[in-house]
Structure 1
Amino acid sequence: MSRALVIIDVQNDFTEGGALGVEGGAAVAAAITDHLRAHPEAYDVVIASRDWHDPDNDNGGHFALEGEPDFVGTWPKHCMAGTEGAEYHPSIDTGLIDIHVRKGQGVPAYSIFEGTTDDGRQLVTALDELGITDVDVVGIATDYCVRASALDALAAGRRVRVLTDLIAGVAPTTSAAALTELAAAGATVEPAEGGR
């Protein structure tokens, strides 16, 4: 068994004070770093995604450039490529990340599997090359990108754990529904220490 930690979108725009700040996002950033430092042997590879949107267009309808966003399929501008908002939250120790993935470059993208690594690979290709069978998913937001990434990891044939003390969601109701959906789809949903 080879295990990866997949960190989803722990970026300044998705934490408190950002364009789409999620309550508890900064605490999750710090907790993920603490988890990695406490368990350096737990993962064969650490992978992190970032939204990396094109600032010059609506990113395939993802941004509501006219009128109000509906916060379901359209959003305010966020995580624009090369801006402070698109950078990792400062509590994430980027020195612990082995593979960086950018997603949403000109199109809507929720799952890390829709992005590409810095060397141009699809994530599933990188996982296959590394022999990764198990994936722990953490990050922001439970009810959107964490959910989509975990479902895609399951679809890619991986055993998936969603670590509930290392995620933050937009809303309690939709976050709870996402975790229920993930458990029904075959993911293990438990705190970080639950599976050790």
Structure 2
Amino acid sequence: MSNALIIVDVQPDFCENGALPVTGGEMVASAIASDVESRRSHYAAIVTTQDWHIDPGEHFSSTPDFVDSWPVHCVAGTPGAELHPAIADLPVDAHFTKGRFTAAYSGFEAREMLAQAPKDDESGALLGDWLRAHGITSVDVVGLAADHCVRATALDAASQGFHTTVIAPLTAAVSPENMPHVHDELRAAGVTVLTLG
């Protein structure tokens, strides 16, 4: 199998002191960077996804329910939407952005960010198409947040036929108490969940 690592939404706005912080986000960013440094040869490709919001409609709310609506976060072109500094200099093969004009949780809704393209450009390849074009058959999924975008990305990866593994120690959740249920849901969909470092 040709394996890829998908680093989901490791952005300053999702880390401590960000607009929509996930407890443990900073630790996850550092842990992913260390893992890539030690296991880069394990992967045929490494890709990142980013929330990249311009006008995502009701996804942003001044009275968010933290299920379908959220405080303003990861506005395209702002520092909070960039890759976390621990991730930014990793040897990544492609970057994918999602959610410009709508809510988007799964990395498989994201399109490749093309060099020098305007921030509202949506002409890049979808993540799934890019992976298939590069001969990828298996993916490891890590990042933020475990119970939202990591979950959605892993479910879509499995539904698109990729052998999918979530490396749980390299994730952090908005609601950690819900993770046993999330892990059960992932396993039921055929996703492998690694819970040990």
Smaller-chain TM-score bracket: over 0.9
CA contact 2:9–2:49 (8 Å) conserved in 1:
yes
Distance 1:183 1:171, change over 3 A: same
Displaced runs of 4 or more, over 4 A: none
Within 5 Å, give how 1:64-75 maps onto structure 2.
64-65=61-62, 68-75=63-70
Q: Look up the match of 2:118.
A: none
Q: Does 1:129 align with 2:139?
A: no
CA contact 1:166–1:192 (8 Å) conserved in 2:
no
Task: Specify the SS of the correspondent of 1:46.
Answer: strand
Deviation digits for residues 140-182 of structure 1 (CA, Å, limit 9, x no counterpart): 0010000000000001100000001100000112232211110
AA aligned to 1:26 is: E
- Structure 2: unaligned runs, 5 residues or longer: 115-123
TM-score where L is the length of structure 2: 0.92
CA distance in 2, matches of 1:175, 1:102: 25
- Structure 1: unaligned runs, 5 residues or longer: none
CA distance in 2, matches of 1:191, 1:32: 15
AA aligned to 2:81 is: A
Q: Look up the match of 2:121.
A: none
Q: Look up the match of 1:105.
A: 100
2:190 aligned residue (183, 186, 189): 186
AA aligned to 2:11 is: Q
Task: Specify the SS of the correspondent of 1:166.
Answer: strand
CA distance in 1, matches of 2:20, 2:165: 25
CA distance in 1, matches of 2:90, 2:174: 28
Q: CA deviation at 1:10?
A: 0.3
Within 5 Å, give how 1:13-52 maps onto structure 2.
13-52=13-52
Deviation digits for residues 42-101 of structure 1 (CA, Å, limit 9, x no counterpart): 1000010000000xx3x1310014xx1100000010000111110111121433211100
The alignment-based identity, stated in percent, is 47
CA distance in 2, matches of 1:90, 1:129: 29
CA distance in 1, matches of 2:58, 2:8: 22
CA contact 1:33–1:93 (8 Å) conserved in 2:
no
CA distance in 2, matches of 1:38, 1:93: 17
Q: What CA RMSD, in Å, does the superposition of the two structures yield over aligned residues?
A: 1.2
Aligned length: 188
